[in-house]
Structure 1
Amino acid sequence: MNIKHILPSDIEKESFRIIKSELDAMGKTVPEDLLPTVLRVIHTTADFEYADTMRFSEDVIEKAKTAIRSGAHIVTDTNMALSGISKKTLEKYGGEVHCFMADADVAAKAKEKGVTRATVSMDKAAELDAPLIFAIGNAPTALIRLYELMNEGKIKPLLIIGVPVGFVNVVEAKELILNSDVPYIVNEGRKGGSTVAAAICNSILYNL
């Protein structure tokens, strides 16, 4: 068994080197502007399939950086993603991260209407007086409601990161965003998750 002795500060750097080397060996080429995001998602999941299934709208990384520099806030659908996103970096540009899933008013309204808390969370997010980025890693109903709100003219996100994981309405919800006119980063298929949503946010924040 050949255990490498690597300084703690070098572990992430070495991981990214290995990922890039293995992508090259597989013959997978990722555009330079998208590479930091794809590498960080693979680093988070150890799943190389993301190199094939992630979808990016035109110039989305640059648009995302411009949004953050202009003070955009990030809204996510889980407290796990909220915990994982680099709030210090975002705060440098005047932004904040929000998750309304555990709010008492959201839970009460969701029960009253017979809908998910993620659905009501998107309604609450639409009331924020700030440019918004959405990072959805768990609830397809959040993406569905975002699509409805956009069509109703109630919200115009600067970016939607759509990577919910699961089996019910997940693929269909992602397709709605892929077919919208909003800038997007979406992973096709069933895979995704809160850690993936946070990784995508951080890949942008760390490369500003």
Structure 2
Amino acid sequence: MEMEFVKPMEIETRSFAIIEEHLEGVSIPENQRSIVKRVIHTTADFDYVENLKFSDHAVETALDALKQGAHIVTDTNMAYAGINKKSLHQLGGEAHCFMSDPEVAIEAKTRGVTRAMVSMEKACALGENVIFAIGNAPTALVQLDELIRAGKIAPKLIIGVPVGFVNVVEAKELIMQGTTPYIVAQGRKGGSNVAAAICNALLYQLYR
């Protein structure tokens, strides 16, 4: 099979055009559509048309937060690396991942809990304008739920897309049953790349 030569700068444009062709006739609110399309672009998985769930006004709330210089906290360095820092910084925001923080590691080992849980606790110090992008650790979602219920943090948005088989579905359902705005990949699918893709899709609605 002979491959068609496509210029590097045209690949993304062509890819999104192909995705849009597959979504013809699918009704998705426009501000959600761009997010779903970027996740599909990242994963080549059209299941996200059905799997990606948005709470009421989640996108609008997230965009308002980003306009005001929101912090984005991830649970993996991979998700952190994938977020477009230029776009985020232009809006006055900053990305964080505390997973490699020595103090977090020591605290987690001392208490016998995951670093993801301690990282969520550390994020409480960032204030109220925080978006969480969780792509790996369901324990991060469980801890966020507890912190929210205890009144220790009030995130503007939780992106809950950890991937896996153990407690993943349950942790996502916990977030969907709460009152915090969310974008959740229902079921077992997700990943750090999906978390970063959702962050970037939100950012690109404001600045690119």
User: TM-score, structure 2 length as denominator?
Assistant: 0.96
**Residue 9 of structure 1: how far off its partner (Å):** 1.1
**Residue 128 of structure 1: how far off its partner (Å):** 1.6
Identity of aligned residues (%): 60
Q: CA RMSD for the aligned pairs?
A: 1.1
Q: Distance in 2 between matches of 1:128 and 1:32?
A: 31
Structure 1, 124-133 or 14-23: larger mean CA deviation? 124-133
Equivalent positions of 1:31-180 (< 5 A) are 31-129=29-127, 131-180=129-178
- Structure 1 runs of 4+ aligned residues shifted over 4 Å read none
Q: Secondary structure at the residue paired with 2:152?
A: coil
Equivalent residue, structure 1, for 2:201: 203
Equivalent residue, structure 2, for 1:15: 15
1:77-134 residue CA offsets vs partner (Å, 9 max, x unmatched): 0000000001111111211000000111111110111100000000001112351000
Q: Distance in 2 between matches of 1:180 and 1:189?
A: 17
Aligned residues: 206
Listed as ranges, the gaps of 5+ residues in structure 1 are none
**Residue 29 of structure 1: how far off its partner (Å):** 2.8
Q: Secondary structure at the residue paired with 1:127?
A: helix
1:131-188 residue CA offsets vs partner (Å, 9 max, x unmatched): 1000000000000000000000000000000000011110010011101111100010
Q: State the one-letter code of the partner of 2:47.
A: E
User: TM-score, structure 1 length as denominator?
Assistant: 0.96
Listed as ranges, the gaps of 5+ residues in structure 2 are none
Contact 1:136 1:194 in 2 (8 A): yes
**Residue 195 of structure 1: how far off its partner (Å):** 0.1
Contact 1:73 1:130 in 2 (8 A): no
Contact 1:134 1:157 in 2 (8 A): yes
Contact 1:163 1:191 in 2 (8 A): yes
